[in-house]
């Protein structure tokens, strides 16, 4: 029991990330609306980014910007920040491409619902 409490106090960030990731994955796989799927993908992606950023955090640390004369300042780890900066920008690329595909699918099928598209495909 005690370990569970201490784990919760120490690991809550990871657990929150896992819950967010589960929600994103559920929206991505279970929703039949394509725009909803894209939003789910964004949530999923954000949970991964959050995971890295929360790993970089050091207690009582500050943003990794060097201040002259400050001797014993603790800075959070800048490396995950850089990696996730790249991930966010690439993420907007995938989102834009996915939404463009949704628009094309709507032009072709007149719907953005997965099951209706499959119905039409089966008939055609």
Partner 1 sequence: MIDILLFAFLMLTALGILRLRDLFAAAMLSSLFSLLAASLFMVMDAVDVAFTEAAVGAGISTILMLATLAITKRQEKARKRQLRPGPALLVLACGAMLIYGTLDMPHFGTADAPVHTYLAPRYLEVSPIEVGPPNIVTSVLASYRGYDTFGETTVVFAAAVGVLLLLGGRRRFRDAGWDITMGVDLREVQEIVARRQEGLKLPEGDP
Question: Is there binding between residue 120 and partner 1 (CB under 8 A)?
Answer: no
Interatomic CA distance for residues 82 and 28, integer angstroms: 27
Question: Is residue 79 near partner 1 by the rule CB under 8 A?
Answer: yes
Which is nearest to 38 in space by CA: 92, 84, 83? Answer: 92
C-alpha 111/C-alpha 105 separation (Å) is 7
Candidates 1, 10, 48, 117: give the one binding partner 1 (CB under 8 A): 10
Binding status of residue 112 toward partner 1 by CB under 8 A: yes
Give the shortest CB-49-to-partner 1 separation in angstroms: 7
Q: Which of residues 35-74 bind partner 1 (CB under 8 A)?
A: 35-36, 38-40, 42-43, 46, 49-50, 53-68, 74
Query: Is the Cα dihedral 43, 47, 52, 58 positive or negative?
Result: positive
């Amino acid at each position: 029991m005690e370990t569970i409490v201490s784990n919760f106090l120490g690991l809550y960030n990871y657990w929150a990330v896992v819950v967010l990731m589960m929600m994103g994955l559920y929206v991505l796989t279970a929703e039949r609306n394509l725009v909803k799927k894209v939003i789910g993908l964004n949530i999923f992606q954000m949970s991964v980014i959050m995971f890295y950023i929360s790993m970089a955090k050091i207690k009582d640390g500050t943003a990794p910007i060097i201040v002259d004369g400050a001797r014993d300042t603790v800075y959070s780890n800048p490396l995950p920040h850089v990696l996730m900066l790249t991930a966010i920008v690439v993420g907007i690329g995938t989102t834009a491409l996915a939404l463009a595909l949704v628009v094309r699918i709507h032009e072709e099928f007149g719907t953005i619902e997965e099951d209706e598209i499959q119905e039409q495909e089966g008939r055609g």
